[in-house]
Structure 1
């Protein structure tokens, strides 16, 4: 329901309220650094309806084009990024198999909680298959990572360390904040201004932070059927020409790989080109 921080497409990724429909009916769940609850995921009630529309660091000409739609070359393109949070997991091989079958690249925002150690080698497999690996969180524990900016970057450093046997951490320059860049739960732990501070620090450190504007709601709490996930994606695409789709690669989202063939087929029928987030940012 949010957006990609990009100088070309900022105005084209509009805020959607679809991903907040269940926000007040779902109970908040989060892990610990070594959690007793193994499921980790971005929760809908952690998000706000209005995304940050700041595009810091954009070149003035590109920023103007994004704001006015003057960049006709990119305005005519239909682009989609499939992004998967909270992996790798036991479901990652199924996700990778579908992506390979349809020749589609994707971006994986990964975690390394300790509970998914046995699946971390899949990060290398995904990278070698041409997919983008990006940073999400080591712990996915909101109370810990959002207690202060320093705590957040300690978590990112730990994630990079745990991923280093499988992928070069120096090449990991894209990240997604747990809960999104406009989450409200962080205020309980780090104060009202923590996300603004973290976004500024991310840019200073050379990271691109990424949200989304299409949501499959596959980690909303109740396990959805493949058909329901597909319908959510189609509905929240809502005619947008540039889509960053939020899906999950966690142990509890086993129906997501089953929904992928229909999702991919539908976007292809609508004339979308698939790309990674990094490729989208470079277009």
Structure 2
């Protein structure tokens, strides 16, 4: 396929994902793109750099962020080995119940190896169906569990299914959490076909993109090496979500989406 055709196809796929996300939450959902976050910060702002990671200027580099939801799980050690081998840092939106509390050593390893540790709620309930107090409980319990293990409270959260409303935004703001959506998804919950997962992500990948995968499904972790290798071949630099926004900073309550 000609390069222009590939770009058009990728743009169309991303637009479909974006349109779907925008309809999910029941509120206006004004969002901020990574480029806007960087522009707002100004040229003299201090870059945010993940621990042990060299600074990346995403105004010049062709950046993309790899993110994983709902872990850690049994395949997370294999994933971490792959990321270490490929010299890639990712952002992990961790689930509290039966994951963070069950795998504290993995949570600690994720943080120690320079990945961004983020919040994906306690029990994966749809936040837009909950009261403000219930939303607060879902997020606070995971904040506390992660802080107990790593010594740091996350500054990023991802709502299950991307479902957001005004209460979710308000509680996130109170708890110091920015809301992070995505631009590329493999729907890896619906297939164990690693090649299909890889092809779906490669089709949707774009500059300043945020890739959504899950390290708890059988087909996902085996797909990651191929995704990384091909995107590197295409000239992408992998960054964490904070690096993607730098020198901007993720503001509590704000919704970020490419």
Which category describes the TM-score, using the shorter chain as reference length?
A: 0.7 to 0.9
Contact 2:185 2:213 in 1 (8 A): yes
Deviation at 1:76, TM superposition (A): 4.2
Say whether 1:81 aligns with 2:65. Answer: yes
- Among 115, 126, 148, the residue aligned to 1:131: 115
Deviation at 1:198, TM superposition (A): 1.9
Distance 1:279 1:64, change over 3 A: closer
Contact 2:186 2:197 in 1 (8 A): yes
Counterpart residue number, 2:47: none
Distance 1:155 1:76, change over 3 A: same
- Among 255, 259, 282, the residue aligned to 2:219: 255
Deviation at 1:147, TM superposition (A): 1.5
- Among 202, 210, 222, the residue aligned to 2:180: 210
Counterpart residue number, 2:155: 173
Contiguous gaps of at least 5 residues in structure 2: 1-10, 44-56, 248-258
Deviation at 1:111, TM superposition (A): 0.6
Contiguous gaps of at least 5 residues in structure 1: 1-11, 24-43, 66-72, 184-193
Counterpart residue number, 2:169: 199
Deviation at 1:280, TM superposition (A): 1.2
Deviation at 1:16, TM superposition (A): 2.8
Contact 1:83 1:107 in 2 (8 A): yes
- Among 229, 234, 240, the residue aligned to 1:265: 229
Counterpart residue number, 2:194: 226
Contact 2:94 2:100 in 1 (8 A): no
1:150-185 deviation digits (Å, cap 9, x = unpaired)? 211111111122223321243x111111111xx3xx
**How do 1:53-202 residues align onto structure 2 when only pairs under 5 Å count?**
53-55=30-32, 62=40, 74-114=58-98, 117-142=101-126, 146-170=129-153, 172-180=154-162, 183=163, 195-202=165-172
Equivalent position SS for 2:165:
helix
* Greater RCO, CA 8 A, separation 6+: 2
Looking at structure 2, the residues matched to 111 and 59 of structure 1 have their Cα atoms a distance apart, in angstroms, of 27
Deviation at 1:229, TM superposition (A): 0.4
Distance 1:128 1:236, change over 3 A: same
Aligned residue pairs, count? 219
Looking at structure 2, the residues matched to 224 and 19 of structure 1 have their Cα atoms a distance apart, in angstroms, of 24
Counterpart residue number, 1:186: none
Deviation at 1:102, TM superposition (A): 0.4
Deviation at 1:258, TM superposition (A): 0.6
